[in-house]
Amino acid sequence: MKSTKTLVLLAFSILMVLSSCDDDSNNKVENNTTNNINPNLPSPEDCEISSTEVLYNKDLLRLYTVVEVTVRNGEGTPMPFHSVRIGIYHDMNGDPIVENEEAVSDEFGIASFEVSSVYLGIATVTAQVSTSSDFISGETLDIPHSYEIPFDYSVSIIPIESTFFHDHGEYNLRFTVTDELYSITEAELNLTNEIENSTISDSSFITDLNGRFNVDYSTPVAGIQNFITQLEGMEDSKESVVDLSGPVISGSIANMQHYPLGFYSARVGVFTLNINSEGEIDPEDPVGTELVSESTCPCPGPAEYELILPITPVDTENVVEENISRGFYVVMVYDDLNDNHILDEGEYLLGVNTSTGILMFEAPGSSSAENPGWSIVNGWTSDRQVLDWSIFSDSVNVNITRSPVYHPTVRAVFDTGDTEYNMAFMVVPSSAEVIDDPVYTDTDDIENLVSQGIIFHDEQTTVADYEFTLTDVDAVVSSQLIDQMSFNYTDDSGNLINVVRVLPFLYTDDDDSGNYTEGDEISAISGYGSETDAFFLWVVDHDDNLLFMNPSQIYFHRGFMPIARSARAEIYSTFVDGSDYNYEIRPWLGRELNSTFTATRDGTTIAEGSISNGLTPTSIAVVPSSGCSGCADISIGDKIVITGELSPGELSVEDFFVVRFRSIQ
């Protein structure tokens, strides 16, 4: 029985030995079998290849690192006293230097290799590990993963100061040189640049204790600059890039129009100002080349912007005086309808700064320029003043005052005392004289206009203070009919504006049709109350030069636009000055009142004549006694109504946010 047990054990032992010697890879050793890890053999999958940081060695004059291969068994335990060797592959211009290609792992299982390079690039490390302390007696195992060493150093460039002239910019640049861990200190470095006509203060520099050196650099063109650096001892050079700014202006874009704006994509840019031979803005084409631009959105709060100017603009000769090339430029906001960063024909000008934000560029010719390069001035005429760049360059603010007004949300206020309101908006045939003529207050005149017009919006409500979205004229009325009804109006600065008159009115829906039809009674028209009349216009088109007329104020713009005028007032006091009657009136009747009037009491006319305020803003209206009938009877509390032509200065463009209806009396 005992001999039988011995035979079984012997057979089992022979089977185990045969199993452990079964090796399909010939010279490779398997360190584990299924469900069986041999802790005495390295596991290639668990071995690790790494390196220390790549540093610049001032003694060796090259980049240096230590490659570390950590030998582990299948349980992840470091294994000392195993031989390791490495191989290096690369795409560099030359071979890295390996001090020792074989090493034995230490007590922590780490085998170390010193590797250095005078070339820049990626070196790929592979490794093999032996099952013993050498590759002769042990078996060779390939570690299946590799490791990449980036032989490189860093050069950062920061502009410290800049000064600009008409043909170049001068920059003081700070270079900082570092390896993966430290600043590279007290190292010699060569520096070159390939930008045409640029200059560097020197070609060789030594870094300080912070790894820095400063360079004075001159270039005619701002933007991306490429510098070539080469550390002492290195065979390869390194390219570093810095983006140098030209002169900078900044500010904010604010919306000064209170209704929903009709622009698509507001963009702010610097444009050449076209000056004609008389030294004035070209009325047909006020702006030209766009130098720089960026998107902006004052929606609704102000939007900040910053624009970088070229050191020298391309077109510096839009004005030439005394052998000096001089150009004027404006910061302008426009509606970039197709988002192509270019002002195209048909795109709207929304706002411009013409007071504290006009840019001037001077380049000397045969005569020296007083202000060479960029300046900020308060005008383009000969009496302009140069403003302090340090104060004004960061506050070139632009107000949007010319945005189109399309499909606005409108507030309608009814002062008629009714409980049901039938409201219609129509375009009617008219002429330029309507803007200066007295407001239509006679029902027959209104009905005559309505009989010739086209309704584009009709709405009913029982709310006395009502908001609605107004339909655009061209959404209902064809362009042919708009063209037939439109007329040209020339403002007091000679700007041409093509408009259609819009007539809002209330009517009694006598036939209960739900719309205005012939025979319905017109009960009220639009206005701003007892003191002010309003004409509503649909502006089809206008000269671009219109933007430069009082750009800080709301003025003619495309789409819906009300024009208000002070047409009625109340007498607060009277006195005689020589042969003239003087009346204190409230509210003031315009800025440049020089017209005719009637005075009424309880709806009855008591006097009529000519009236003026001396062409100055004042509450005192002057009526010559020789040109007035019944003026001696005018007393406090009487009303006056302007009946004659109003000067353009009396008209004011209003924000379109409320339409007030008053009854026809």
- pLDDT, tens digit, for every residue of 247-287? 999 999 988 876 656 778 889 999 988 887 767 777 777 88
CB atoms within 10 A of CB 609: 20
Contact assessment for residue 634 and residue 574, using Cβ atoms and an 8 Å cutoff: yes
State the pLDDT at residue 206: 97
Higher pLDDT, 63 or 448: 63
Binned at pLDDT 50, 70 and 90, residue 91 comes out as: confident
Choose the weakest-confidence range: 98-112, 364-378, 448-462, 505-519.
364-378
How far apart are the C-alpha atoms of 637 and 602, rounded to whole Å?
A: 10
Task: Check whether 9 has a pLDDT greater than 90.
Answer: no
Contacts of 278 (CB under 8 A, 6+ apart): none
* 179 vs 24: CA distance, rounded Å: 47
pLDDT one-digit tens code per residue, 522-544: 888 776 554 556 678 899 998 88
- 307-345: b or e for each residue (b if 16 or more CB lie within 10 Å)? bbbbbbbeebebbeeeebbbbbbbbbbbbbeeeeeebee
User: Residues 224-233, buried b or exposed e (16+ Cβ, 10 A)?
Assistant: ebebebbbeb
**Band of pLDDT at residue 610, cut at 50, 70 and 90:** confident
The answer, yes or no, to whether residue 346 has pLDDT greater than 90, is: no
CA dist 153 and 178 (Å) reads 6
Phi and psi at residue 491, to the nearest 5°? -75, 180
Highest mean pLDDT among 152-156, 305-309, 439-443: 152-156
Mean of pLDDT values over 174-187: 97
Q: What is the pLDDT of residue 261?
A: 66
- Could you give the percent of the chain with pLDDT greater than 90? 44
pLDDT of residue 503: 87
Q: How far is CA 75 from the centre of its chain?
A: 60
In the predicted model, is pLDDT for residue 36 greater than 80? no
Q: Count CB atoms within 10 A of the CB of residue 556.
A: 21
Question: Residue 48: pLDDT band by 50, 70, 90 thresholds?
Answer: very high
Quick check: 21 pLDDT over 60? no
Query: CB of 249 within 8 A of CB of 395?
Result: no
Q: Which two tokens stand for residue 171?
A: 């920059």
pTM: 0.71
Instruction: For residue 506, give both structure tokens.
Output: 């209330």
Q: What CA–CA distance (Å, rounded) separates 422 from 522?
A: 10
